[in-house]
């Protein structure tokens, strides 16, 4: 399976397209609803582009990397070729019965077109509708990454929820911390060594085992002092809920 069509031209499609091409796969064509975006990625990959799903060329595999709410619509318009989607939260049951070979090719990472990634370190979660097709997908993934696992839709959906907590929610906490410091004219970068050390510790320990802070110590007086100092009511509630969660975890 060397000839691949990319359906989508966003962050995931861009990184996957470049990585696949670097591993000697041929990107036959790029599709995007926006002809401008399709052309932009196609030029990077020196290939054809279209904004019409009825004009896709023939390939060994179609990789669908579009927003979750567009996957069903896109799949309903595709012909019977081998197809995968790259979503963490959409199950394998989204595929049309007319498609013979289908599956999931989910890279567990946050992607940005303008931020370089070491693709070989990204976990790829693979699921196929048959063992034979799954094996082919695993082979492609192993050419890209040293971290490839097979995973059911149920497992992958749970993984995606966990990833939201670990990545999206933690980044929101960084954003809140940034804003709290800006209020008092303190540079957010002062927190970076603390953040780096927190991440470093969970490389070799379970997160629960290295939890610190007033809630972990059940220092209720200090927790309340923090709550009293926070001016925004929504942040007061957030601080309370997270502190209570930590306290219950370590009871």
Which pLDDT tens digit goes with each residue over 226-238?
999 999 999 999 9
pLDDT at residue 114, rounded to an integer: 85
Measure CA 165 to chain center.
12
Strands laid side by side in the 148-150 sheet: 48-50, 26-31, 3-7, 61-64, 83-85, 102-107, 124-128, 148-150
Same domain (yes/no): 67, 44: yes
pLDDT of res. 76: 92
171, 202: one domain: yes
pLDDT for res 215: 96
The answer to whether the CB of 127 falls within 8 A of the CB of 134 is: yes
For residue 201, what are the domain limits? 156-249
**Are 143 and 93 in a shared domain?**
yes
Q: Give the end of a domain, one of 133, 151, 169.
A: 151
Cα gap 120→148, rounded to integer Å: 10
One domain for residues 119 and 194: no
pLDDT of residue 97: 85
Tell me the CA distances in angstroms from 244 to 6, 43, 72, 177, one per residue in order.
45, 52, 40, 19
Residue 44: Cβ-neighbour burial (10 angstroms; 0-12, 13-18, 19+): middle
The predicted pLDDT at position 44 comes to 95
CATH code: domain of residue 204: 1.10.1040.20
The pLDDT value recorded for residue 62 is 98
Number of folded domains that form the chain: 2
143 with 164, same domain? no
The whole-angstrom distance between residue 231's C-alpha and the CA centroid of its chain comes to 34
Bridge partners, residue 150, by sequence: 126
**pTM: predicted TM-score of the whole model, two decimal places:** 0.89
Residues of the chain with pLDDT under 50: none
Give dist(CA 170, CA 37) in Å, integer.
Answer: 31
Both 67 and 106 in a single domain?
yes
Nearest-10 Cα torsion for 64, 68, 73, 75: 30
The radius of gyration of the chain's CA atoms, rounded to the nearest angstrom, is 22
What is the predicted pLDDT for the residue at 29? 98
**Residue-level pLDDT at 113:** 87
- Answer yes or no: do 129 and 160 share one domain: no
> What is the structure's pLDDT at 96?
84
């Amino acid at each position: 399976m060397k000839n691949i069509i990319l359906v989508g031209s966003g962050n995931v499609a861009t990184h996957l397209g470049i990585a696949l091409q670097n591993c000697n796969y041929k990107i036959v064509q790029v599709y995007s609803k926006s002809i401008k975006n399709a052309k932009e990625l196609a030029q990077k990959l020196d290939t054809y582009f279209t904004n019409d799903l009825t004009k896709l060329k023939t390939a060994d595999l179609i990789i669908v990397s579009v927003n979750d709410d567009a996957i069903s619509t896109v799949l309903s318009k595709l012909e019977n070729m081998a197809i995968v989607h790259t979503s963490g939260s959409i199950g394998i049951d989204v595929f049309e019965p007319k498609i013979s070979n289908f599956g999931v090719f989910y890279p567990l990472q946050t992607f940005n077109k303008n931020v370089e990634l070491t693709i070989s370190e990204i976990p790829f979660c693979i699921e196929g509708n048959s063992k034979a097709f799954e094996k082919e997908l695993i082979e492609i993934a192993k050419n890209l990454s040293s971290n490839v696992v097979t995973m059911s839709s149920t497992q992958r959906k749970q993984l995606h929820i966990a990833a939201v907590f670990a990545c999206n929610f933690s980044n929101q906490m960084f954003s809140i911390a940034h804003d709290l410091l800006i209020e008092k004219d303190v540079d957010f970068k002062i927190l970076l060594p603390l953040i780096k050390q927190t991440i470093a510790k969970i490389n070799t320990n379970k997160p629960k085992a290295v939890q610190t802070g007033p809630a972990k110590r059940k220092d209720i007086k200090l927790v309340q002092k923090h709550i009293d100092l926070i001016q925004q009511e929504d942040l007061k509630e957030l601080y309370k809920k997270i502190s209570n969660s930590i306290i219950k975890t370590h009871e």
